[in-house]
Structure 1
Amino acid sequence: MSTSVDDAIRTLLLLMPRLVGRAKRTPVPPELSSFNLAPRHLSLLAYLLFEDELGVNELAARLEVAPATVSLMVGDLSRKGVLLRREDETDRRRTIVSIAPEHHASIDAWLGRGASAWRTALSPLTPEQRRMFLDTLLAYERAIGEPSDGPLPG
């Protein structure tokens, strides 16, 4: 079945708002609501949920932010008891971050469904198809972020 570019765009114009809407409607679990988690915390928590533990620099690289930014977020969440920080035994300069055991189940119930859904969607694809899918999303992100041809009217 051949789909024209315009047909694909029509489908995406319906699909993308539904996906964003579902993500926004995913409520923070009551046991985590008092921590005032911001959207910037979600990716950090999702990475830790997926990887179990990571160093601050590794988190910064994956989140594409400065290590100082991650250190601030980790510091905030560790003071609240959401995250644990520990010194790497083999490199004392390295800080290892993980989700506190008492919050792991809540965070997994909250964010784990997204990772599971992506696994379901991506597993049947070949590595080349997955790469094309990711490259397409990244190209869309770049294109949507580009300025228009001129100033906005108004």
Structure 2
Amino acid sequence: MGPDVDEGVRTMLLLMPRLVGRAKKIPVPASLSSFSLAPRHLSLLSYLLFDGPLHVNELAARLEVAPTTVSLMVGDLARSGILDRAEDENDRRRTIVSIAGRYRADVEGWLASGARAWRKVLAPLTPEQRGLFIETLQAYEREVERAGPEHDT
């Protein structure tokens, strides 16, 4: 039998800062270290790595931010050479974004240790258990966002 709710809360409150701290210690590849990449950039790069080239609006929807926000991020990363932008041949008003070839291996390496760890811990779970775990983390994220610091109890 698992912990009661209060023990679960205690465990998670102690665990989450350690997880975040460890994630922050993953070294940025030397080739990317001068670009001042933030966590939001890592999420954008993760989508492009796992899902391939995407339109700005697709990235915005996945990142749950406004397309203008993604356009600004893409612009910064494209000027730095990390991302490539190309016109969509089917709709020239749309821009397709991808990781620049010279940085792809470095981005893959940066994400590899986290991906290996998630595969190792998620693989033994049933699809239902994985779904519940992921849904729980997503619900936690939504609740923290909804409540904000002004609503802490």
**1:17-49 deviation per Cα after TM superposition (whole angstroms, max 9, x unaligned):** 111110111121111112222222111011111
Distance 1:100 1:69 in 2: 20
Q: Does 92-101 or 61-70 show the bigger shift?
A: 92-101
Greater helix share, structure number: 2
Whether 1:57 aligns to 2:60 is: no
CA distance in 2, matches of 1:70, 1:12: 31
- Whether the 8 Å CA contact 1:49–1:112 is kept in 2: the answer is no
TM-score (norm. length: structure 2): 0.86
Stretches of structure 1 that go unaligned for 5 or more consecutive residues are none
Residues 132-143 of structure 1 mapped to structure 2, 5 A cutoff: 132-143=132-143
CA distance in 2 between partners of 1:112 and 1:53 (Å): 19
For the aligned residue pairs, the C-alpha RMSD in angstroms reads 2.0
Q: What TM-score, normalized by structure 1, do the two folds share?
A: 0.85
Pairs aligned (count)? 150
What is the percent sequence identity of the aligned residues?
Answer: 67
Structure 2 residues without counterparts, runs of 5 or longer: none
Q: Which runs of 4+ in 1 moved over 3 A?
A: none
How big is the shift at 1:149? 6.5
Q: Return the alpha-carbon distance in structure 1 between the equivalents of residues 152 and 57 of structure 2.
A: 37
Secondary structure of the corresponding residue to residue 98 of structure 1: strand
Over residues 120-147 of structure 1, what are the superposed CA-to-partner deviations in whole Å (9 max), with x where a residue is unaligned? Answer: 3223333322222122112222333314
* SS class of match (2:35): coil
Match of 1:128 in 2: 128
